[in-house]
Amino acid sequence: MREVKSRAANDSMDAAALHQRLSAAARFIRCHAVAAIYHAGSGHPGGALSSADLLACLYGAEMNIWPSTVDDPDRDRFVLSKGHAAPALYAAGSHFGFCDERQALSLRKLGSKFQGHPHVLDLPFVETSTGSLGQGISVAIGMALGLKLQRKSARVYTLLGDGELQEGEVWEAAMCGAHHKLDNLCALIDYNKLQSDNSNDAIMRLEPLAAKWRAFGWTVFEIDGHDIGAILGALRQAGASAGAPSLIIAHTVKGKGVPYMENIPAWHGSVKLTPAQTREALQALGATSAETEEFVNV
């Protein structure tokens, strides 16, 4: 565990200090995710790296959830709809005190709680099991509707992949969320433009993406998904929006931070990192020599 978040500390911190703290969290998430995938011998690095800044901002500044309140009925909820990005979720949990850092490196190992997709019965901070693409946002809508009916102020956040948007269930969920005016729901899209085999455009075109969601009745924000200030600003605006669910389209880079992975569909998943590739990735992400060896030789 590297850090336990403090809401009071966030509130008293100036913007530059908060930006620095969240950037450091995103760096850790990327390094830990790469190390976990290396030790697992398989996994999905591309989308884990592209979503790190979003997870850092959600867990590090936005969501009202703490290691001591994972069962609090008034907590905010997070659903990783793109469940294959589990290494990034586990890394965020490690950084912010929800799980043990070393144990989270046991990704995909037999008997480990940290499987290739999140499992609600294994980890207290995982709200629902995900992996079948398109289902996570539907669960998030159910949670948001339930909180509305109970008149609770808690919010629900869900992170989708862009390839996931090719699932019809996503658009059924979009209709449902707008119909019920779920302004306590914020969906984020990790829009890195690539999926496992090719670009989104080559497989099934998504554009005009923002216009489609607005047509379904959502309040839409479009940002650079690696700009900490832009992410925090969009999350604040989403929280202040009334009468409709919010969507943040976060433009990202697949494999962000590792030059040999960036914008290459082959690094989506089903990869086996060599020790040399892992060291190269960790060093590109800013890990020191000591940190690199600690991650590789754990």
C-alpha closest to that of 21 among 70, 69, 51, 60: 60
3-state secondary structure (DSSP) of residue 10? helix
| CA distance linking residue 93 with residue 48, whole number of Å | 13
Q: What is the mean pLDDT of each run of 10 residues along the chain (298 residues)?
A: 50 85 98 98 97 98 96 97 98 98 97 97 97 96 98 98 97 98 98 94 96 98 98 98 98 98 93 96 97 95
Q: What is the pTM of this model?
A: 0.95
Query: Is residue 78 situated within a structural domain?
Result: yes
- Residue 89 falls within a domain, yes or no? yes
Q: Is residue 148 part of a domain?
A: yes
In a domain, 2, yes or no: no
Residue 174: give its domain's CATH number.
3.40.50.970
Would you call the peptide bond into 275 cis, given omega within 30 degrees of 0 as the criterion?
Answer: no
Please give the pLDDT value at position 8. Answer: 47
Where in the sequence is the domain holding 106, given as residue range(s)?
Answer: 7-296
Closest CA to 135 of 171, 169, 185, 181: 169
116, part of any domain = yes
Q: Is residue 59 part of a domain?
A: yes
Q: Is residue 208 part of a domain?
A: yes
Total domains present in the chain: 1
pLDDT for residue 162: 97
**1 part of a folded domain:** no
End-to-end Cα, the chain, rounded Å: 15
